Chains A and B, each alone.
Chain A
Amino acid sequence: AQSVTQLGSHVSVSEGALVLLRCNYSSSVPPYLFWYVQYPNQGLQLLLKYTSAATLVKGINGFEAEFKKSETSFHLTKPSAHMSDAAEYFCAYSGGYNKLIFGAGTRLAVHP
């Protein structure tokens, strides 16, 4: 069965530091993968998605993610964290009929 694992339920970085949020998937077929962000008391907003067109995917707000088939990973990065990046981030796998299977989420804290 397909599954998504996000390593680290909480990540804390300094403003201006590199952001790295980890996501690994389990699937027997080529995946479609997504990163969503959730700000407090809001719904989920798409950051970026992998659809097999390119392994390095650029998204909104300076985020990008690299698909590595050999490592079954789709880690999210941003070179320089801003205070406004503090939120919860979800990695998701798209199964049949576009059913999204989410990881447990990683809460990102950014401190001055």
Chain B
Amino acid sequence: EAGVAQSPRYKIIEKRQSVAFWCNPISGHATLYWYQQILGQGPKLLIQFQNNGVVDDSQLPKDRFSAERLKGVDSTLKIQPAKLEDSAVYLCASSVTSGRQEETQYFGPGTRLLVL
């Protein structure tokens, strides 16, 4: 079974530029998550989709971050414009369903973003 795929793996941009990350979850997984992991910290949930609907985006900085999952499969996370504090690893995860607190989330390798 193929895991969660993410691209690119690394990205370096200058502040005020825009950037986009792509995620393809495990086939058949209904729920997709985007996490931000700042150096030295644990991952923090940015947004959660169930199929193509948003379940939780309470910690997404909506003035600069956006995400979509139009067909309920792959997803794109965008930052526009980027700030220095956006430097982090962006992790995508997926799970079979959602709403069940004991369900395992499967993580991709992440995209490491450096904003100069």
Indicate whether B100 reaches chain A with its CB closer than 8 angstroms. Answer: yes
Q: Judge if B61 is at the interface, Cβ distance under 8 Å.
A: no
Residue of A nearest to B104 (CB): A46
Q: Which residues of A contact B110 (CB under 8 A)?
A: 42-43
CA distance A51 to B102 in the complex (A): 6
Interface size on B, residues (CB 8 A): 30
Given the known inter-chain contacts A97-B48, A105-B41, please indicate yes or no for A42 contacting B105, CB distance below 8 A: no
Asked if B43 is at the interface of the complex by the 8 Å CB criterion, the answer is yes
A39 to chain B, nearest CB (A): 10
Query: How many residues of chain A get a CB closer than 8 Å to chain B's CBs?
Result: 27
A41 beta carbon closer than 8 Å to chain B: yes
**Residue of chain A at shortest CB distance from B44:** A102
B102 touches A104 (CB 8 A): no
The answer, among A42, A45, A98, for a CB contact under 8 Å with B95, is A98
Q: Is B51 an interface residue (CB 8 A)?
A: no
Q: Are A104 and B104 in contact (CB under 8 A)?
A: no
Instruction: Return the chain A residue nearest B103 by Cβ.
Output: A98
- 19 A-B pairs whose Cβ atoms sit less than 8 Å apart in the complex: A34-B104, A41-B109, A43-B4, A43-B91, A43-B93, A46-B106, A90-B42, A95-B101, A96-B101, A98-B98, A98-B99, A100-B35, A100-B45, A103-B42, A104-B40, A104-B41, A104-B42, A105-B40, A105-B41
